[in-house]
Amino acid sequence: MISNGDERMLRALRNLGACVCIAMREKTLRKPIEDLSAVSRESSDDTIYEIDTSIEEIILDYFCGQAKETPPFALIMEGKPDEDLVFSTSGRRNDCEYTVIMDPLDGTRGLMYGKRSAWLLSAAARGTSAALSMKNICIAVQTEIPPIKQNVSDIMWAVKGQGAHGERFNIDSGKVTNLKLTPSRAEDLHYGYATFNRFFPGAKREITAIENELQSRLEATGRPSFHFEDQHICNGGQLAALATGQDRFVCDIRAALSPILAAKGRPALLCAHPYDLCCELIAREAGAVVTGCDGLPLDCPLDTTTDVSWIGYANEKIRSLVEPHLLDILSSPEKYLI
């Protein structure tokens, strides 16, 4: 059974997703790419574009208008790392029942150029302790914000221990259909999508060297392993792809390599942060496996600045095939620095 507070929070986050999706469709239809892709400001956690600023305003207005319907909560949000956003009658953080962490728009770059969807990512943990981490998240909702050429949006959600659920709705007609979340049942990577994230300059050669080493080890097992990659600049989108059977394996080790490279005088890498991965509960509740680079369940503080590495497997069979080789390689990543 889901508690009354969890049910209210889940409803609020799902309704928020629908509101943002509809509002952003109108905005992307009205404004040219040049306006949406302009840099609004630089914050300590990321670059904030004009399209991000538009969504921030929609989110804050929504929660201010829903104060009586939503359990009191503190909001941690990308783009506002230094602001204490509290939505409670008293205005005090200690009176809040939940902490919500949110990425208003994961996949900004793809959406603002009309290449592919972005996602509104939101997750809630009970309480407001500074010690809260990913393992405390009990509710997660992610809503697809599609490009203008697409008028359907997927919304996925999960309550811890209650499984994962999804719907697909037509933004123009309002029609809603069921979306089944089923990760791939394949037992290997052959003819599937398997990706090492190397979106930006800085460590492409090193990540490729690690990927090549893993491929060599998989080939040595005698099993076919011809697969494809998808450099989708959106961790939320990658987790959705795991949950829906599109991807079989995703590996993002930028945060693990960044301090090693920095120690050698190389620039720090642009890495994933907790808000990028706050909806990993959905992929796990659907049946996928998500870990850190140590093979343990993914965990990190609920903040906007911690660099996070993660590995996603569609199922335990693929994990058992890939993980022993991958973790052995990652135990000495300095061997692959170029």
Across the chain, mean pLDDT equals 92
Identify which has the larger pLDDT, 185 or 79: 185
Q: Could you tell me if residue 184 is inside a domain?
A: no
Residue 298, pLDDT > 90, answer yes
* Same domain membership, residue 198 and residue 166: no
Token pair for 169: 């709705």
Residues 126 and 267 in one domain: no
Q: Could you tell me the residue range of the domain that residue 328 belongs to?
A: 194-336
* 174 and 199 inside one domain: no
Cβ atoms of residues 181 and 244 within 8 Å: yes
Same domain for 17 and 135?
yes
| Range of weakest confidence among 70-84, 188-202, 290-304 | 70-84
Same domain, 174 and 317: no
Question: Does the pLDDT at position 35 exceed 80?
Answer: no
Interval 238-256 mean pLDDT = 98
pLDDT tens digits along 67-100: 778 999 999 998 766 667 999 888 888 889 999 9
Does some domain include residue 174? yes
User: Strand runs (DSSP E) across the chain, as ranges?
Assistant: 39-42, 47-49, 73-77, 85-87, 98-106, 118-126, 137-145, 152-159, 164-170, 176-178, 194-196, 249-252, 289-291, 310-313
CATH number at residue 134: 3.30.540.10
> pLDDT higher for 294 or 24?
294
Residue 244, burial from CB neighbour count under 10 angstroms (0-12, 13-18, 19+): buried
First to last CA, the chain: 53
Please report, as a single letter, which amino acid is at residue 176.
V
Give bridge partners of residue 133 from the DSSP assignment: 301
Q: Answer yes or no: is pLDDT of 259 > 60.
A: yes
Segment 10-21 mean pLDDT? 94
Residue 49 has pLDDT above 60, yes or no: yes
Q: What is the pTM of this model?
A: 0.93
State mean pLDDT over 269-282.
97
The answer to whether residue 183 is domain-embedded is no
Asked, for residue 189, whether it belongs to a domain, the answer is no
Mean pLDDT of 217-239: 96
pLDDT of 72 reads 95
CATH number for the domain harbouring residue 299:
3.40.190.80
Q: Which of 178, 204, 227 finishes a domain?
A: 178
Residue 305 lies in a domain: yes
| Per-residue model confidence (pLDDT) at position 81 | 60
For residues 10 and 158, membership in a common domain is answered with yes
pLDDT at position 36 = 65
Query: Do 121 and 228 share a structural domain?
Result: no
70/209 same-domain check? no
Number of other residues whose CB lies within 10 A of the CB of residue 219: 12
Same domain, residue pair 147 and 271: no
Statement to judge: residues 198 and 318 lie in one domain: yes
What is the arithmetic mean of pLDDT over 203-228? Answer: 96
Domains contained in the chain, number: 2
Average the pLDDT over 28-48 and give the result.
Answer: 64
Residues 106-128, mean pLDDT to the nearest whole number: 92
138 phi/psi in degrees, rounded to 5:
-115, -15
- What pLDDT was estimated at residue 55? 83
